[in-house]
Amino acid sequence: MRCALGALLWLLASVAIAAEAEHGDGAGRVAVPGLAAAGKGGHADTDMYSPDGADIDAFGRAVGVLQRYQAALVRHHATRRGYIMRPTTCRDLSGVFPGFAQRYVRGAARLIARLVGLADEAGAHHRTAPAGPRPKAVVQAIESVNELAAREHEGALFVLAEMAMYGRYGADVDPAAAFERYQQLATASGNATAQYMLGVFYATGLGGIEQQNSLALLYMTLAAIQGHTAAEATLAFRHLSGIGVPVTCGKALGYYQTVARKAIRYYLDGPPLGRQMPEYQVRLADDNGGTYGVRTGPYSLHKVVDRQAFGELLSYHQQSARDGDIKSCITLVDLYYHGHRFGPSNYTTALSYARTVLDALFTGQGELRAGLSQSDASMAAQAAGMYGVMNLRGEGTAVDTAAAQRWLVRGSRLWNGMALNALGVMYRDGIGIETNMEKALQLFKVAAERRHLGGRTNFGLAMLDVSPEVAIENLKKAAEGGHIQAHFHLAELYAGMAGSETQCRMAVASYKFVAEHGDWLHSPVPDATVAYQRGDLGAATVDYIRAAEMGYGVGQHNAALLLEAAFRRAGAGNSAGAGNSASAGSGGGAGNGAADDARRAWPLFGSRQAHVQQTLAYWTRAANQNMPDARVKQGDHYFNGWGAERSAEKAAAAYTLAAEADANGLAMWNLGWMYENGIGVKRDFYLAKRWYDRSIEVNEDGKLASHVSLARLCIKYLWAWASGADVGDSPLFFAPEPVAEEREEEDEDEQAHAAANEAEAAGGGNGDDGADGVLGGPAGEHPGDGYEGDDWKQGMGGDGDGDGDDDDESLSGNVLFLLLLVAAGWMLLPFR
């Protein structure tokens, strides 16, 4: 292995030289002679297969058939309602219970579902097989592609690789098979896409390939040398975060700079004012009520509009626009111009609504009509700006600079920032009018004063040589607002300064923003989103994994979420098989049958172990990029020993971070529980109470569970106090007012306790109901998984509290507990 690595490294050097030599010939692809030789031990050039005319025809025909078939499959899936992932819990009840309590609810919900005979929540939504078997023509096409691939036809190898990687043409996602094809292709031709994909395999362990950072680095570098943007972005992120390499800001800077420069070039290549930004990156959790299916804190959910609400909103505005409501017209211009996730943009429609507003508010001579209110005037200005810009850019109409100028001047007179900035650009670049830098600067200045982001950027750029402070000030403000060009120029400025670590970090942050927002050409996210929406979870997961490796926070969050869903499916589908695969994954020497089982149960990573490890890695990286709830998930993984050694201390640390930094109510509740029971932290009733209280504060939804916990805490405190244990000096429960309420709850709580205990007794021994955790996996299969310590046993069993170990809880216990909680809630709290 080491020897092969050495050879490859040598090749890398030779490739670098070859690339250097061929630099500037613009062919786009650099031949990688060495790789072919290494792969086959022969002469690359003579071995290389070159297709003749017949093959080219055959390939073209086959690909045509396959593409038509794929399109039909996509249509078939798209016609069914868009895929909606179920929240991780039963939605209505989960609003009431956070954290551990949720698991009782989930267990009970699952039991009920099982009893009623409903389909399993996760399984039911997996992509179903295509309608019927493959047609004969498609089978033949695949055969002929296979034939060509056997003769190392580049295109054919590529088609087969992608077919296995993304589950196209009715195939299953099979990364292991894709790996072989990509390897063949990389060896045969040095195809950069194939090298990049090999890098992804070695970086992630997809397809059961052993994770090897050195090989990941090597293949990514090979692809990056050939200018593969995704590979460059991946390398940038790895150097930035120190994944498989030491953290080196300078190297990250170099790669991010390359990607960002490509992005900006493409941006400026568009119409005046730059290309329209790509679609917003959707966090899947937002559509499902959050990562946990509930709001856990102030930052845990984006404000989301679902498809139905969006439809209602749209028809409302359309109706009032028909009734002549100007405000609705303006809203519609905006909606149709920028587009929405559930309604793609339509410039023609946007333009016609803008025209409606103009006709209503301006006279034929382009004067504002008399007697307009302040808000009408500002809407008139907005419409004029939009209309002018669309004419300038040729959106919804042919480019018409005269009309653009006319309306932009009118908008500018009304102080519309967009109009001012666009008119400034016309003067600056001499679009349809004589260049006039002075006028341009003036217009930019006013636009900047109107806080228009583009105006600020352009004003900043114009002032760079005159007054750098003013320039940077404006660029910073525009960057804060998310203007990609401002970010880019700030990054260039920082990068150009003599590099301190801080400046490097600042430059990288801005370049990263550009690379991840100006990602028209290289982002896997749109493909992933489309695949997800039609229920093609395998392809979506692979694409989100690629995005995650490139450093997208959204990619990491979504990849982790989908991997978790796959985990639940595997756990629900064959808990027994999951058990096998865990041993097969770690043992390695297991028989063929077990390995096959593992591969079937864990199609992406080949083993349970690798699957959960990678899930944890993505939660961790998402958490490091401030994705909501990811830190709590990380804590859950440590707490349960999923993908890492069980460690209540690490879990507590993660929960503390989430509780303090993100005000996450779920994390607070978990922390309260840990302090209450002395798990992972020193037992401390006072802190336990504090965290429960704060959890109620930030998370109204978790009220009931928190009150129950508080009541239980109170009992425990009294018990500990009565039996002379150390309870600290603070008075705890005798000062605050909710005491009376809690007292009343004691009875029910006692029963709940009993139920929990009973449940633990029933489920603790055999773990037969393993599919019950948040991840649904049999957490009970980690006996002695680094956590044999007495503390743990005491913590979990000693105080007779079943809350934490509920993976082993029996379903009947769950139901009982649930009923008791609900009963208590009904009596004590107004049920919302």
The yes or no reply on residue 154 touching ligand NAG (CB under 6 A) is: yes
Which residue, 231 or 537, has its beta carbon nearer to ligand NAG?
Answer: 231
- What separation in angstroms does the CA of 658 have from each of 298, 665, 672? 12, 9, 13
Binding to ligand NAG (CB under 6 A): which residues in 172-191? 191
Token pair belonging to 155: 């295109």
The yes or no reply on residue 601 touching ligand NAG (CB under 6 A) is: no
Least Å distance, CB 429 to ligand NAG, is: 29
Binding to ligand NAG (CB under 6 A): which residues in 227-246? 228
Least Å distance, CB 32 to ligand NAG, is: 11
Least Å distance, CB 352 to ligand NAG, is: 7
Least Å distance, CB 73 to ligand NAG, is: 21
Least Å distance, CB 376 to ligand NAG, is: 25
Least Å distance, CB 161 to ligand NAG, is: 9
Q: Determine the size of the site formed for ligand NAG (CB under 6 A).
A: 11
Token pair belonging to 585: 């994954």
The yes or no reply on residue 564 touching ligand NAG (CB under 6 A) is: no
Please report, to the nearest 10 degrees, the dihedral formed by the alpha carbons of residues 295, 300, 303, 309 taken in order.
-40
Contact 347, 395 (CB under 8 A): yes
Which residue, 69 or 158, has its beta carbon nearer to ligand NAG?
Answer: 158
Least Å distance, CB 395 to ligand NAG, is: 12
Residue whose structure tokens are 């960002």:
260
The yes or no reply on residue 397 touching ligand NAG (CB under 6 A) is: no
Please identify, among the stretches 7-15, 101-109, 151-159, 164-172, the one whose residues bind ligand NAG according to the rule CB under 6 A. 151-159
The yes or no reply on residue 348 touching ligand NAG (CB under 6 A) is: yes
DSSP letter assigned to residue 373: -
Least Å distance, CB 543 to ligand NAG, is: 17
Burial 676-700 (b: 16+ CB within 10 A, else e): bbbbbbebbbbbbbbbbebbbebbe
Give every CB contact of residue 163 below 8 A, 6+ residues apart in sequence. Answer: 66, 142, 169, 171
**Residue 20, amino acid:** E
The yes or no reply on residue 221 touching ligand NAG (CB under 6 A) is: no
Which residue, 227 or 728, has its beta carbon nearer to ligand NAG?
Answer: 227
Which residue, 188 or 443, has its beta carbon nearer to ligand NAG?
Answer: 188
The yes or no reply on residue 346 touching ligand NAG (CB under 6 A) is: yes
Least Å distance, CB 348 to ligand NAG, is: 5
Which residue, 347 or 787, has its beta carbon nearer to ligand NAG?
Answer: 347
DSSP letter assigned to residue 371: T
Contact 788, 816 (CB under 8 A): no
The yes or no reply on residue 155 touching ligand NAG (CB under 6 A) is: yes
Which residue, 339 or 499, has its beta carbon nearer to ligand NAG?
Answer: 339
d(CA 561, CA 554): 10
Ordered DSSP codes for 159-205:
HHHHHHHHT-TTPPP-HHHHHHHHHHHHHHH--HHHHHHHHHHHHH-
Please identify, among the stretches 34-42, 150-158, 203-211, 614-622, the one whose residues bind ligand NAG according to the rule CB under 6 A. 150-158
Which residue, 232 or 807, has its beta carbon nearer to ligand NAG?
Answer: 232
Least Å distance, CB 29 to ligand NAG, is: 5
The yes or no reply on residue 315 touching ligand NAG (CB under 6 A) is: no
Residue whose structure tokens are 């080196």:
248
Least Å distance, CB 226 to ligand NAG, is: 6
Checking 796-803 for CB contacts under 8 A at 24+ apart, the result is 796/679, 797/760, 797/764, 799/677, 799/716, 800/753, 800/757, 800/760, 801/677, 801/712, 801/753, 801/756, 802/756, 802/757, 802/759, 802/760, 803/100, 803/101, 803/673, 803/677, 803/756
The yes or no reply on residue 158 touching ligand NAG (CB under 6 A) is: yes
Which residue, 154 or 636, has its beta carbon nearer to ligand NAG?
Answer: 154
Candidate residues 10, 17, 29, 649; the one interacting with ligand NAG per rule CB under 6 A? 29
The yes or no reply on residue 193 touching ligand NAG (CB under 6 A) is: yes
Token pair belonging to 647: 């460690």
Candidate residues 31, 36, 141, 192; the one interacting with ligand NAG per rule CB under 6 A? 192
Contact 567, 612 (CB under 8 A): yes
User: What number of other Cβ atoms are within 10 A of residue 403's Cβ?
Assistant: 17
Helices (H), 394-436: 401-413, 417-429
The yes or no reply on residue 757 touching ligand NAG (CB under 6 A) is: no
DSSP letter assigned to residue 781: G
Which residue, 158 or 255, has its beta carbon nearer to ligand NAG?
Answer: 158
Strand partners, 340: 343
d(CA 508, CA 254): 9
Which residue, 57 or 700, has its beta carbon nearer to ligand NAG?
Answer: 57
The yes or no reply on residue 459 touching ligand NAG (CB under 6 A) is: no
Which residue, 336 or 691, has its beta carbon nearer to ligand NAG?
Answer: 336
The yes or no reply on residue 349 touching ligand NAG (CB under 6 A) is: yes
Phi/psi at 368 (nearest 5 deg)? -65, 140
Please report how many Cα atoms fall inside a 13 Å half-sphere around the Cα of residue 794, on the Cβ side: 8
Which residues bind to ligand NAG, rule: CB under 6 A? 29, 154-155, 158, 191-193, 228, 346, 348-349
